[in-house]
Amino acid sequence: MTERIFVSPAKYVQGKNVIEKISEYIDGMGTNALVIADENVWDIVGHSIVKELKNSDITVEEVVFNGEASKGEVQRITDIAKESGSTLVIGVGGGKTLDTIKAVGDEVEAKIVIVPTTASTDAPTSALSVMYSDEGVFEGYRFYKKNPDLVLVDTKVIANAPARFMSSGIADALATWVEARSVIKFGGTTMAGGTTTIAAEAIAEKCEQILFSYGKLAYDSVKAKVVTPALEAVIEANTLLSGLGFESGGLAAAHAIHNGFTALDGDIHHMTHGEKVAFGTLVQLALEDNSKEEIERYIEFYMSLDLPVTLEDIKLKDVSREDIMKVAKAATQEGETIHAGFTVTADDVADAIFAADQYAKSYKESK
């Protein structure tokens, strides 16, 4: 019998203006830090974090993230961390920045602090990274011995990020229970390396409940750039509940299909991770034995958040069966997460992609 495994970060802190207390929360982790952020994030909050660290007599090496969570970028920053003798690494920004700093921390065996500036993915809490080529093509997952030592989520910063990132995060998080319940039913292995725990199942299900209850309010809160109870709840669902839920609950078809889309060229690469996961979730629902009412519940919710629900919405209006088969074959290749929740062929997935597209078009026409 496969062991049940549950993993989590050592500490999760969320609240308004918590970045101002970063020195307090990293006390004892080290006095020689490396901080990475992309150019935009440095201007938004990166320099403020460095100021707080230096005020606490922490030596800081500042690095500009180049934008892709690739082996080359990990090696570049690892070399800087080794040269500077960093024992504490801090990633500030979005999913690819955070995935990169986790890899760097693993390479140099440093304490890892994650500071997300959006609630757009569930990457912050996990002990894994999604790795891409320098051109942005999905290559695989990299797993680590431990989760981050601290995840610090400043809700004021997230409230001031573009609303598109919030809706993308909700879409990514909404896949959590859809995928976990598939893995549970199938008896598949989770990203933590075992079967789903009762705790992970409860967290994944609660994640979906929070999103359907407060997701639209949270989206509107970010449009107004204000922190509200609804926003606080959804940030926690997008980041902590979804992070714990996907890693210890399991991934299935929705994320595998997202990964499959990286096999295509074109404007689809301008879609966010969560936007592609939203469509992938509809495809998983189409693969399963779900009623029209159940599928349309998700379509309606996605549309209320301005998320894509058709192939046209994800810039694939006139896509050929041949190209969709490329997606389907990539989504069902050996080692992909779809096999944790299903026994399916690439042809089954291709059919489900076109079916999901038609279900959404029919729903739109009915409105």
Q: What is the pLDDT of residues 239-298, one digit of tens each?
A: 999 999 999 999 999 999 999 999 999 999 999 999 999 999 999 999 999 999 999 999
Give the model's pLDDT for residue 138: 87
Query: Average pLDDT for residues 117-135, to the nearest whole number?
Result: 93
Q: What is the pLDDT of residues 341-363, one digit of tens each?
A: 999 999 999 999 999 999 999 99
- Which is catalytic among the residues 99, 106, 149, 172? 172
- Which is catalytic among the residues 255, 313, 351, 357? 255
Domains and CATH numbers, the chain: 12-159 (3.40.50.1970), 163-366 (1.20.1090.10)
Measured at the CA of 121, the angle between CA 116 and CA 125, to 5 degrees, comes to 65
Number of other CB atoms surrounding residue 221 within 10 Å: 24
Q: Strand, helix or coil at 344?
A: coil
Q: Strand, helix or coil at 21?
A: helix
Number of other CB atoms surrounding residue 24 within 10 Å: 11
Clarify whether 270 is annotated catalytic.
Answer: no
Give the model's pLDDT for residue 137: 86
Q: What is the pLDDT of residues 18-33, one digit of tens each?
A: 999 999 999 999 999 9
Give the model's pLDDT for residue 291: 97
Query: Among 40-54, 55-69, 131-145, which is the least confidently predicted range?
Result: 131-145
Q: How confident is the model at residue 2 (pLDDT cuts 50, 70, 90)?
A: confident
Report if pTM > 0.75: yes
Report the alpha-carbon distance of residue 141 to residue 333 in Å, rounded: 14
Start-to-end Cα distance in the chain: 49
Q: How confident is the model at residue 318 (pLDDT cuts 50, 70, 90)?
A: very high
- Which is catalytic among the residues 273, 313, 339, 351? 273
Report the alpha-carbon distance of residue 191 to residue 248 in Å, rounded: 6
DSSP E strands, 134-290: 138-143, 150-154
367 by Cβ neighbours in 10 Å (0-12 / 13-18 / 19+) ranks as: exposed
- Average model confidence (pLDDT) across the chain: 96
Report the alpha-carbon distance of residue 161 to residue 263 in Å, rounded: 29
Q: How confident is the model at residue 136 (pLDDT cuts 50, 70, 90)?
A: confident
Q: Side-chain half-sphere of 241: how many Cα atoms within 13 Å?
A: 26
Does the pLDDT value for residue 1 go beyond 70?
Answer: no
Clarify whether 258 is annotated catalytic.
Answer: yes
Do 23 and 56 contact (CB within 8 A), yes or no?
yes
Q: What is the pLDDT of residues 30-61, one digit of tens each?
A: 999 999 999 999 999 999 999 999 999 999 99
Give the model's pLDDT for residue 149: 98
Clarify whether 339 is annotated catalytic.
Answer: no
- What's the maximum distance between 2 C-alpha atoms anywhere in the chain? 62
Which residues partner with 64 through β-bridges?
Answer: 37
- Which is catalytic among the residues 258, 313, 339, 351? 258
